[in-house]
Amino acid sequence: MQSLIHGNFEGAAQKKAYALVGAAAAIAAAVGPLLGGFITTYLSWRAGFLLEVVIIAVVLSGIRLVRDAPHTGPRAVDVVGAVLSVLGMGGVVLGILVWQEGGESVAALLVIGAVGLAALVFWLRRRKRQGKPTLLDPDLFKSKHFRLGISQQLLQQIALGGTMIALPIYLQMVLEYNALGAGLSIAPLSLSMFGVALLAGKRAGRRRPAAIIRLGFLLLTAGLLLLIPIVPRADSGWYLLVPVVIAGSGLGLLVSQLNNYTLAPISEERVSEAAVNSAGGSFGLSFGLAFAGAIMLATLSFTFTDMAEASTVLSPAEQQRVANALEEDAQVLSNTQLQELLAGQPEDVREEILRINTEARPLALQVALLIPILAGVLGLLNSFRMLRLPDLRPSGSVEGMTLG
């Protein structure tokens, strides 16, 4: 997608095209939870997979409308590089997911991921020295603009992924919304992304992209920080409206600028490799979803166990049963679900465990939100480095870069 935009648009039109693609992704992020929530609530989650097939068929039906960007460079495939990239990124994300589920071999998976990423770097450099085709050109990372752009996209997606896992769980398990209600409550996040991305794409004018990116990370971080004190007090999704609109506006500014900032100075012959930022973004989204979810469950398990051990109502045997149950399967349960599981227990025990659950869940969600907040803060700090660099624009030829 990014290669096609880069090959078919130039200058201001290219910036608008990237902003439109970002806005389209934002509206898809809004429609997805709503449509998925409706299907899950009123039909079945299995029907969602059938809908995916329909969407793919619609996309393929318009494939003839896509105009290819000509490519005259080498077309060989770096199979080893592709395999190492899958092992590296897949190992890290899978390791976090297995840790989240309480599975075994977490350390082995994380080591495989780290070794895979290190081996990928070594392999790419070696292939480059030998003059052979590589999965991506390691020389791309010599550009400060490219390095900063791709790292900012990674942080943006980590923040988005962490937010999109924490808030729905909060809405469904604490406020006990169904999937449709949770989708409606987080829709302002994606809708504000969509609107601001469109507006920024049209009205950015001569404003520095780095300044817009700084404002984006500032709004994103501010919106997420506002959620921290709200989480334990909210009794309705309406309490989240202002913070998620602020955070969504920040994300909209980011998606309107980051693709163009990262790829605009790259020549047409190298843009397919440079579009690794898309893979980096997907990795960031997966990492944010997995890591924030894992941190949330780990915090819940630790907090629940700690509060159970400090309880004067639960007997030592009951405290041990709570600890064993959480060790085997830590879950974020609503009070209604927990009451069903506690049927038959003495009333004072039920009330005590419900109290612990009520107090532990918001804390777990607050800790989970620290993952996207940290990504936002790092992105904000990075944006000051971006401001110190001169602006770049496409040179009009397929080689080199010029200063704007």
CB atoms within 10 A of CB 118: 12
**Same domain (yes/no): 86, 230:** no
Structure tokens at 131: 């003059």
Rg (CA), the chain: 23
Question: What is the per-residue pLDDT for 274?
Answer: 54
Question: What is the per-residue pLDDT for 385?
Answer: 92
Residue 322 lies in a domain: no
Question: What is the per-residue pLDDT for 222?
Answer: 96
- Count structural domains, the chain: 2
**Same domain (yes/no): 63, 116:** no
Question: What is the per-residue pLDDT for 102?
Answer: 61
**Same domain (yes/no): 67, 86:** no
Q: What angle do CA 264, 26, 225 make, to 5 degrees?
A: 100
Strand partners, 402: 393
Residue ranges making up the domain that contains 113: 77-132
Residue 222 lies in a domain: yes
Structure tokens at 303: 């907090």
State the sign of the Cα–Cα–Cα–Cα dihedral 360, 362, 366, 372: positive
**Same domain (yes/no): 259, 384:** yes
Q: Tell me the CATH number at 243.
A: 1.20.1250.20
Residue 103 lies in a domain: yes
**Same domain (yes/no): 104, 153:** no
Residues 6+ apart with CB under 8 A from 306: none
Looking at this protein, which amino acid is placed at residue 112? Answer: I
Backbone angles phi, psi at 402, to 5 degrees: -125, 155
Question: What is the per-residue pLDDT for 397?
Answer: 37
**Same domain (yes/no): 275, 385:** yes
Question: What is the per-residue pLDDT for 396?
Answer: 43
Average pLDDT of adjacent 10-residue blocks, the chain of 404 residues: 62 64 63 67 69 79 69 68 86 78 74 90 86 77 83 90 86 80 82 84 76 94 94 86 94 85 66 61 80 85 83 79 62 71 77 83 89 95 90 48 35
**Same domain (yes/no): 182, 66:** yes
Residue closest to 298 by CA, chosen among 223, 353, 371, 222: 371
Q: Say how far apart CA 403 and CA 325 lie, in whole Å.
A: 61
Backbone angles phi, psi at 396, to 5 degrees: 95, -15
**Same domain (yes/no): 93, 166:** no
Residue 391 lies in a domain: yes
**Same domain (yes/no): 65, 86:** no
* Contact status, residue 152 vs residue 281, Cβ threshold 8 Å: no
Strand partners, 393: 402
